[in-house]
Structure 1
Amino acid sequence: MIFADKALLPDGWAHNVRIEVVRGFVGAVTTDAEAQPGDVRVSTLLPGMPNVHSHAFQRGHSGLTEMRGTGRESFWTWRQMMYRFALSVGPEDVAALAEMAYVEMLEAGYTRVGEFHYLHHAADGSPYDNPAELSDRIFDAAEATGIALTHLPVFYAHGGFGPRAPDEGQRRFLHSVARFVDLVGRCDARRSRAQDRVGFAPHSLRAASHQDLSQLCEALPGRKLHIHIAEQVQEVEDCQAFSGRRPVEWLLDNFDVNENWCLIHATHMTEAETRHVAASNAVAGLCPVTEANLGDGLFPAPEFLEAGGRIAIGTDSNVRIDVAEELRILEYGQRLQSRARNVLAEEGGSTGRRLFDAALSGGAQALDAPTPELAAGAPADLVGLRDPLGLDQGDALLDRWIFGRDTGVSDVWAAGAHVVQAGRHIRRDEVQSRFADVLKRVLS
């Protein structure tokens, strides 16, 4: 049993809430209750946040790309370093890197991850005897740490619009459509937990042609589909030069973009594209920390939300893993651009609550999961916040978590398992030790 001084229930904040956990799900929820001996006590209880976009192996080079070279630094110069790192890790390394990322996600309050997984083959580009070898390691890492997984194997066939031949640095990513569909089937067969899901992810319009996308949608109907799009100005310009249209415009004109789609980044959209994506019911998968780190640009969040758009947050390159920081940078970027405050809040409402609710529901939609909530029958994916001040503030508590410094994650339950206690994952020490061994070897 869990006892919370206050908890965010579907119909609002409640006090003295006692929650039963039964076989990984929320059982009875009692308000105005009294704590009982043996209850785990937390100050504040929230639903766990979905992380809609992660490249787990990139956790290994967090903070290692901040040395300026000659000329202008950009996403494209960063990408070359990432390729070198991707060519240096083996299956056991991939598992260790993913475990570290997933431990930190749980400690931050994420309870489900969408793993946009494009590292498939051996370092020389040849397939493993088991074509799903590295996907299996992602499943292993999720199971070992407790985080729920929506696995999104990535289709990657080309190096640019045209299609252009792939670069040498991309050799571990490449598939034909037939081999990729086989990989998705193998991931379906590997899935052993009820909470896990398998979607798929054409990497981008530059890596998957019109024909590729059409064949994938035909072969894999009804699944969640994630795609990088309009992240970089150069990508927009290259798409225009090839097709005569901008990436989002081209996608909307050629495919039935709907509630099963998640458009990752979608940073550079016109007003018309913004309205059309919002009307499509697709989710915009935003990664504000990574987008800031890479100098991508700023998503048109006020216009998108005003048009009824759905958003989710992700950790992408895993340069930093922090629910509050993603939401904070999403809002602060808009403040810097508009020179105004509380830009994404509804009039009279809390900025933190608006962002939290939007990312919660959008993330669940994009990852094919139930919307996290503290209600009987829901998955017991729960986050406890410490609140040393003990203030009864309702939504202002979310504002203090996201924009202040008085509170943070103390406990996390994933499918009912109490995996984070006193702010630390129960397996952090062993996972961190393996992670350190990988980095010492790879970076030496």
Structure 2
Amino acid sequence: MHHIQIAQRVFNTPLMVDPAKALAFLAGLGPRITGREISFEGPDLPPADPADVTLPARASLFGDDLARHGASTSGPPYAVVEGIAVIAITGTLVHRGAWIGQSSGLTSYEGIAAQLQAALEDPAIRGIALDIDSFGGEVAGAFDLADRIRAARQVKPVQAFVADHALSAGYALASQADRIILSRTGAVGSIGVVAMHSDMSGALDQKGIAVTLIHAGARKVDANPYQPLPEAVRARIAGELEDLRQLFAKTVAEGRGNRLDTASALSTEAAVFRGEAAVFAGLADEVADPVTAFRAFVAAPHGTHPTSKKGPMMTTVHEDPANVPAAVAANATPEPASPPTITPLQTEAAAMSPEAIRAEAAEVAQVCAQAARLGVQFDAADAVARGLKPEALRAKVLAELATRSDAAGIVAAAPATSAKESPIIAAARKSAAASR
């Protein structure tokens, strides 16, 4: 293996990768790179199996002819399923490398960009599916590719199917799709940046080896592996990583739109969210079997944009929006007993169209239904009557969950099921029955 090239890509360079996978990498390959066993200093991390370092080759979930297409010089550089281009984003993500891919456990941003451009230029392609299973990789090149994926949405629909991981740099790319669908065990997030420094000074002392660095420029040898990391250098690197985290969060917000803003992305503190917890937090749009969801994407009528522009699906139990307007009419405008006091929320609501009010009320109902699955009860009709915005309601639910238990429970625990029907939906059904 080319250990020197690997070391150059790993140490003293910002990475958007799940820390546990970085630890597994160092446990497996670190001794080969440094020539001796290594120790770790930094945040507490769960133990990792060094065997996890090897990422097996895999074909796309949605097209078994990916390898054949890759080997062909006449066909497209991706699988095609009924007019949908399937672009695999798997393994460790690196900046350059063109067609570094399936067999090596690496996928390059350069190669993904080439496939994306080919799909956009091919008139036979009517949509793009991102088949994602990645713990992340290099910062370099990630944000430029994210911008290209977001721009591609203006030309053809793009959906991300996560089976089972879209973490760190993998999530930076997934977040730029029109929609993100993940499996029940799927994990997304890790909106953060990490850097690793190798200190070999102790090992060199034991071997009686002295390394003299002759340099011009006071900071030329900052973070070199032959000396302990000075605190000033550590602080500077930490500042650079925070700047990159801010850029990461901003990029995610640009891709997710009103589903996840920059402040909310930062507030996750690089946590990983699974299943419905990811949907509730705004990091994903739907929990479903990726193959089934992909088939629905394929089945969308030709010439149409097979993605929802109404924002995220807040629950995997799809309630019929047609049942909501009657309830909205019944609950959105309560009878005042005395001259009302006009609040800013009511003023804003008055300026909204009836269609917008109905759509917002429907989203409030969905948030309340999802909250019930997480064990938090809110009266949807009351929330609509008070003009409570969906974003504010989500924040209240998360605050309630954080108060009840450790935040890790929100991230890792599967939401409890609840058979209680949303009050708005119940009222709609009752109204519809009475009108018959």
User: TM-score interval w.r.t. the shorter chain?
Assistant: under 0.3
Report the TM-score when normalising by structure 1.
0.23
Write 1 or 2 for the structure with the bigger share of helix.
Answer: 2
Write 1 or 2 for the structure with the bigger share of strand.
Answer: 1
Higher relative contact order (CA 8 A, sep 6+): 1
Which has the greater radius of gyration?
A: 2
